[in-house]
Amino acid sequence: SLSAEHILNVVARLAATEPPPSVETHLSLKEAPVANTARYDRLRGQTEEIGHA
């Protein structure tokens, strides 16, 4: 069953104020991010995988 606290929490989230404006920064990307799973595997090292059930 739903408690009064839960309902009030949901209503408060729906009525929440707008998120704050984004922060201005001079930072920029030199290279766009790339999904490179081979790099991730290389960083993990050569440890053998352990099978989990």
What's the predicted TM-score (pTM) here? 0.31
* Token code pair at residue 34: 């790339």
Please check whether residue 13 lies inside any domain of the structure.
yes
Place of tokens 């704050």: 20
Range of the domain at 26: 4-45
Please report, as a single letter, which amino acid is at residue 13: R
Place of tokens 């009064």: 4
pLDDT tens track, the chain, 53 positions: 789 999 999 898 888 778 878 888 898 989 888 888 888 888 887 666 666 66
pLDDT at 38: 87
Please check whether residue 15 lies inside any domain of the structure.
yes
The number of domains in the chain is: 1
Please check whether residue 36 lies inside any domain of the structure.
yes
